[in-house]
Structure 1
Amino acid sequence: MMTWDEAQSYCKKTYTDLAIVRNLVESINIGKIIPKLSYAWIGLHRDWSWSDQSKSAFRYWLSGKPDNRYNTCVSMSNYYGKWEDYPCETQLPFSCYSVKKQKVVSIRLNPKEQNMDLTSHAVQEAILQQIKTELRKKGMSDDVNLRWKKQPDGKVFHKE
C-alpha cells in the first residue's frame, strides 16, 4: 500500500514503471490480480498521461468517471479492470511492469565432426546447453532464456 508517487518511485527502482494499460485484455488481466473489492494504482496520472511517457489512447473508465474531483491519479478496480480517478495521496496496492530485454547474438561454429547434422533438434539443443553452461560460469543468471532464432527460410544455421 503506497501513494501514487511512492508506488511510481518503487516501480521505477525495482521494475520499469507503474503498469501501462494499452488494451482491454491488459486491463482485465491486471484487474484479476488486484485484491478483492479493492483498487490499485496504474501508471495514468493527473494530466491523463502515462507515467513512462508511452502513448496509448486506450481508456476504460467506470461510468461517470473521470469526474476530476481531486488532484487525481488513476486507480483500477478488480471488477472488470475499470478505472477511476482517485486522490494521489491515497494508499493503495499497485501494479508494476518490467520490460523483457532481448538480445540477438550471432555465433560461428566450427564443428569438430564435419558430418554433424546441425539441422537436428537434438544437436541444436546440445549446443544451446553448452552455451548456457559457459555463460552461467561467466555470471549469467538462471532466469535468462536462450533460444535459436530461425531465419526466413526456417533454418537456424547457414554455411559460410
Structure 2
Amino acid sequence: MADFDPSKSSQDDESDSGNTSEDKMSDEVRRRKSNKSGKSPDKPSPDKPNPDKPESESTLKKFLLRRVLPGAVLGVTAVIAAPLALGAIGFGAGGIVGGSMAASMMSSAAIANGGGVAAGSLVAVLQSAGAAGISAAANAGIFTAVTTATAGAAEVGSRIQNKIQEKLSDDKPNNVM
C-alpha cells in the first residue's frame, strides 16, 4: 500500500494508475488525517441539520420524541379533561349550576346583551358542550390545537436554548495548545 501524502493533489490521484483506497479518499478524510487531533475543525453540530446530508433516522426520531409525542400526549389529556373542566366551572348536564363560575359568566353575558345570552356566544357554546357533551369534531379541534401549540412551544424553546448555548460557547476563551 502506498504511503499517504497530504500534499499530493487530486490530479496526481487521477493520473496514478495504481490507485489505492487511500489515494481515493475524500477531501474531508484528508483534512482529518492531516489534523493532529483527528477531528475536523468545521464538523457540524449534531443538533443542527447538515445541508449536505439528508435528515437521518435519528434526527426524525428526536423530532418525534421531543416535539410530536409530548404534544400528542397533552392533546389527548386535553380531550379527556375538557368535559371535566366544564363540569368543574359549572357547565353541567342539567344546566348551569347556581353560584358557580358559569353562573357568573352567564350573568355578565346577559347584562352585556340587554337581558339575554346571545346564541353562539362563549357562554352558549360552553353550556351546549356541558349539557350535550363535546362532539367528535370539537374533540378533534381541541386535540389539534393543543398538539400544535405544544409542538410549537417546544420548537421555540429549543431554538432559544440553542442560541443561548451558542452565545455561551462564543464567550468561552479558546484554549489552544
Question: What TM-score, normalized to structure 1?
Answer: 0.23
Larger gyration radius, structure 1 or structure 2: 2
Higher RCO (CA 8 Å, separation ≥ 6 residues): 1
Relative to its length, the structure with more helix (as a share) is 2
Question: What TM-score, normalized to structure 2?
Answer: 0.22
Relative to its length, the structure with more strand (as a share) is 1
